[in-house]
Amino acid sequence: MADSPNRPIRTIAIDGPAGAGKSTIGLGLAKQLGFLYFDTGVMYRAVTLAALQRGIAPDDEDAVSQLAESVLIEVLPPSVDDGRQYTVRLDGQDVTWAIRRPDVDAAVSVVSAFPHVRRAMVAQQRRVARDGNVVMVGRDIGTVVMPDADLKIYLDASVEARAWRRYHELERRGAPSSYADVLTSMRQRDELDLSRTTSPLRPAQDAFIIDCTHMNADETLAHVIALVAEQNAARAGAPAQPAAVVGASGDDR
C-alpha cells in the first residue's frame, strides 16, 4: 500500500473509540478527496445483528464465529435518501438502520473481539484496501487492517462528549434513550475495545492523534483536510511531519 513515499496519499486509516465521529469525518474526507469511504464497523454490527435475529447469544463464540463465515454482508452506496451514509445489506436485507439499534450497540464489542470473527472481516477489508484511494474507518485499521497506510489518524474525545453525540444521534433517528444509559453503554464498550486480546483499540505508533472533544464536525474535518494537505506536501519534498496531537478549544458540541 505505502510503496512509494513520494506519491500522494492513497490510503487513509481512521481509528478511534465509539462516538468520536469517525464515520462523519471519514465520509467527509472521502468526498473531499474523491476516495472510497469504507466503515468497517458496520460489518461487525451486521454480524451482531445476524446473531440477535437468529437467537444466538452474542457471547457464544463458536456459534457467532460460524455465523460470520456464512452470512453475506454488502456495504453499498446509499440507496435511500434518508440521511444514511451507505446501505448495508445482510443476506440481501437492508439493515442500515437496524445495525444501530441499542441492543446491537450493547453487544457489538463482544462479537468483534472474537478472533475468528475479526479474521473473517479483516480479510474482506484488506481486499477493499488493496486498490487504494480509500478512507477506511474502524478500530484496528492503522494497526492491523492497513498497517502500511499512507496516513493514519486516531480520532478521540472524552467519553462524556461522545455519549452526548450518540444520545443526540439516537434522538434524531427517533430512537430516544437516556443520556445516562448511553454513557454507561459507551464506558462499557470502551473497556471491551481497549482490553480485548485480539486487535485492541489503540493508536498506531505513527498515527496523528486528534482530540475533538471541543470541536464540532466541521472544525474536525477542516483539521483533517489540512493534515492531509500538509502530509501530501511533505511527501512531495518537504520533511515528513512527526505524529502529533491536534485539538481546539471551545464549547463541547
**Mean pLDDT (the chain, rounded):** 88
Checking if the pLDDT of 140 tops 80, the result is yes
Q: What pTM did the predictor assign?
A: 0.78
CATH code of the domain occupying 11-246? 3.40.50.300
- From the list 141, 155, 137, the residue with the least C-alpha distance to 227 is 155
Q: What is the pLDDT of residue 2?
A: 47
Q: What is the pLDDT of residue 241?
A: 47
- From the list 153, 184, 170, 172, the residue with the least C-alpha distance to 29 is 153
Checking if the pLDDT of 250 tops 50, the result is no
More confident residue, 43 or 130: 43
pLDDT digits (tens, 9 = 90+) for 58-105: 999 999 999 999 998 988 888 889 888 889 999 999 999 999 998 998
Confidence of residue 130 (pLDDT cuts 50, 70, 90): confident
Give the long-range contacts of residues 198-201, CB within 8 A, separation 24 or more: 198/113, 198/114, 198/115, 198/118, 199/118, 199/139, 199/140, 199/143, 199/144, 200/140, 201/15, 201/16, 201/17, 201/139, 201/140
| Average pLDDT of the segment spanning 184-213 | 92
- From the list 107, 153, 28, the residue with the least C-alpha distance to 99 is 107
User: Percent of the chain scored above 70 by pLDDT?
Assistant: 92
Q: What is the pLDDT of residue 141?
A: 95
Checking if the pLDDT of 3 tops 80, the result is no
